[in-house]
Structure 1
């Protein structure tokens, strides 16, 4: 009892000194970690300032939000002996008869992402949930062996329940079904979708669950990929979550979007990303059927010329995330922008590029390349709209044109360069996608696909308003201050 009383008296007497020493020790430890592991100088300085001038709270924010823990833990949790099952055999670069001005890009592309470009693919744009969901559910209903599905948001609404029913019926037919949901995204449906799937016997897993008894999870690291692969015969990727809001004909809060149906050998690369994600989430390795060429004419089975005529797209997967694949999408975009000769068309729900990407765009514009960007007039995140507005004056330098789409929130994500290169998938042009999210995109070479998406882009542009200097300078001063204040926090949005 005497010891307890003495301890209380000592703490009462020296509590200020104890707190100061604790703050200084924690701040020093945190600042050293920032210096050793943060690459961006401005971000590092901001973190150190927050740590020093916000006692304890600043350090707490850094350890929760500022560390790329997955990058280090991925190396531990994906042992190299097992990762050999995930790797592709290195082959000589095949230029697939693409224009010579893109050959250097393909060479650099292999250095950025050592995965082969594959010919004989077919990629079909599906506009909104009106087109995408029926096609996806038909593929699920026709499944015979294996289905893998990954989604950031899986709402428990009329559309979500249609997917749940189709997946459960496939499971009852003996099809192996694996559904991977993001640990944060699953909360949008209050966990109802995964509970419903589990109740019906469908195997589900969470990628980085928000609450874990084995490790600390971080809400700023999310699996933003949208993948559906069926039997190694067909795949779907893009930016579309599973939600009735994407069915424009009936949605109360409509969200425009575009998804893509994929057939061809690149399906194996898409399913491989899911296999790695599933292993990361469950420590279990699944076997998924490989793509097999099918044709109604047996004499044409091995005729590459015939396959290329029917399925002309040369494509490969680019995956990115805060792990060993970090920065691959950013470098892929920079690599492609260097090759632009005539035009660059970008459609994205959030356009907050870092300085490197913005410089690459300006460099292309100064070479005489036409650059057009379409963003929503109003996104689903108000302060992101403010940050984009703060950047307009910087963006439109050197002739870059940016348009605000007047439609309801447009979540479409495409990048088109000249008349041949297309970049489709889940990635936005912001720090969250390029730094913290696990994303999947397809890098595609094909004039027909590019033409279809260019027409889609032109249609969107018709309903959009060009941002001009008068709009920017005409803003009230308080809005300019507000917008630029939030711009300071753009790396963390």
Structure 2
């Protein structure tokens, strides 16, 4: 008892010294981690400054939000041979009648992400949940062997309940069903959705749960992929979550979006990404049916050359960013980008400006009002910089447009879950399809122009008339854009 009292007295007398020593020790360890693992010099200096001058709080923020790489145990345990059939055989690059000026992009594409470009795919745009959800639910209802679903958001609302009903009925008739939901995106809906699925025998899992001793330090790294694969015969991919807000004709606060129905051999690449994510979350290996060509399918209707490009804060880090850089270098006539958040880093913006200087027409459509007001401010702060060299920006007047597409000339398009911001390009796990097809580009271009009809062009005069306090606010928040 006497020793305990002496210890308490010593702690009280030396409490200031103890706090200072602990702060500097923690700051030193955290700063050392920043120096060793952060690639961007300016970001590293910002973190070190925050760590030193915000005792304890700065270090806490870094360990929660500053770590943007994760070692996926799936890469150690998941047999690499499973990937081999998706990779080039190393003998020669296959160009599949892709235009000659894109051959350099194909070559670099293999080096960036060694996954095959495969022909004979059909990719059908589905505008808003009004078109996409009935197709998705119908595919689940027609399933015979296997259904896998991955989503960032899965609301337990009237639409979510319809999906749960279809998935549960599939499980009850003998179909194997797996549902993977992001630990943060699912939010409060997890308990209700998980309980309803479990009741019917559907196995569901969370990707990096929010409250977990093993994953809490990766709270900032989210699985943003949206995947639905059925029987190896049909898949759905894009930016659309499971939420009744995407039912634009009925929603009180609608969200516009576009999703894609996929048939063809590229389905094997999509399902493989789900298999890796499922193994990472559950350590369970699953065998999903491979795509088998249907003799009734006609080649002219299935002519898209496509492949999956996956990205994430793991061994696939920044692959989508590099693919975009490579594609922009091949642009000859036009670049059309539609994204809910357009906050490109310096390198991507330089590539866009370089294309504009070559005479390439570049048009970008963003929402007039984002669902995240702070990102509105960041984008407004960047408009003047982006619009240099003739780049055109249009603000869509719809309530909120979540669509994500990129179209270059008549040949190349990029569709999937990725936004043009730091969170998607550095922190999130994402999945996109890189596509070569003139007919798909024509359809996407029509979709782009339909959106542009409801948009207003940003001009320099309006930017000059922005009140001074807003300019200060916008540019101040812009400094934090890598962490938003």
Short-chain TM bin = over 0.9
**Is the 8 Å Cα contact of residues 275 and 285 (structure 1) preserved in structure 2?**
yes
User: Which is worse superposed, 205-214 or 46-55?
Assistant: 205-214
Aligned-partner Cα distance in 2 for 1:77–1:99: 37
Q: 1:202 to 1:491 in 2, by over 3 A?
A: same
- The size of the alignment, in residue pairs, is 481
- The offset of 1:2, in angstroms, is 1.1
Q: 1:86 corresponds to which residue?
A: 83
Aligned-partner Cα distance in 2 for 1:53–1:294: 64
Aligned-partner Cα distance in 1 for 2:294–2:400: 39
- The offset of 1:89, in angstroms, is 4.3
What are the within-5 Å matches in structure 2 for residues 22-421 of structure 1? 22-70=22-70, 73-74=71-72, 76-79=73-76, 82-87=79-84, 88-91=86-89, 92-187=92-187, 189=189, 191-296=191-296, 307=299, 309-421=300-412
Secondary structure of the residue that 1:82 maps to in structure 2? coil
Aligned-partner Cα distance in 2 for 1:39–1:215: 22
Aligned-partner Cα distance in 1 for 2:154–2:217: 20
Aligned-partner Cα distance in 1 for 2:241–2:383: 29
Aligned-partner Cα distance in 2 for 1:221–1:188: 18
Q: 2:439 corresponds to which residue?
A: 448
**Is the 8 Å Cα contact of residues 184 and 210 (structure 2) preserved in structure 1?**
yes
Q: 2:10 corresponds to which residue?
A: 10
**Is the 8 Å Cα contact of residues 93 and 116 (structure 1) preserved in structure 2?**
no
Aligned-partner Cα distance in 2 for 1:214–1:63: 13
Q: 2:477 corresponds to which residue?
A: 486
Q: 1:263 to 1:215 in 2, by over 3 A?
A: closer
Aligned-partner Cα distance in 2 for 1:165–1:80: 34
Superposed CA offset, 1:364-395 (max 9, x none): 00000000000000010001000000000001
**Is the 8 Å Cα contact of residues 227 and 237 (structure 1) preserved in structure 2?**
yes
Secondary structure of the residue that 1:35 maps to in structure 2? helix
CA root-mean-square deviation? 1.2
Q: 1:21 corresponds to which residue?
A: 21
Aligned-partner Cα distance in 1 for 2:112–2:400: 33
Aligned-partner Cα distance in 2 for 1:134–1:18: 62
Aligned-partner Cα distance in 1 for 2:78–2:261: 34
- The offset of 1:28, in angstroms, is 1.1
Q: Give structure 2 stretches of 5+ with no counterpart.
A: none
Aligned-partner Cα distance in 1 for 2:93–2:244: 43
**Is the 8 Å Cα contact of residues 153 and 188 (structure 1) preserved in structure 2?**
no
**Is the 8 Å Cα contact of residues 86 and 276 (structure 1) preserved in structure 2?**
no
- The offset of 1:215, in angstroms, is 4.7
Aligned-partner Cα distance in 2 for 1:449–1:209: 37
- The offset of 1:184, in angstroms, is 0.6
- The offset of 1:217, in angstroms, is 4.3
**Is the 8 Å Cα contact of residues 74 and 279 (structure 2) preserved in structure 1?**
no
**Is the 8 Å Cα contact of residues 51 and 59 (structure 2) preserved in structure 1?**
yes
User: Which is worse superposed, 278-287 or 198-207?
Assistant: 198-207
Aligned-partner Cα distance in 2 for 1:123–1:85: 25
**Is the 8 Å Cα contact of residues 87 and 114 (structure 2) preserved in structure 1?**
no
Secondary structure of the residue that 2:376 maps to in structure 1? helix
Secondary structure of the residue that 2:61 maps to in structure 1? helix
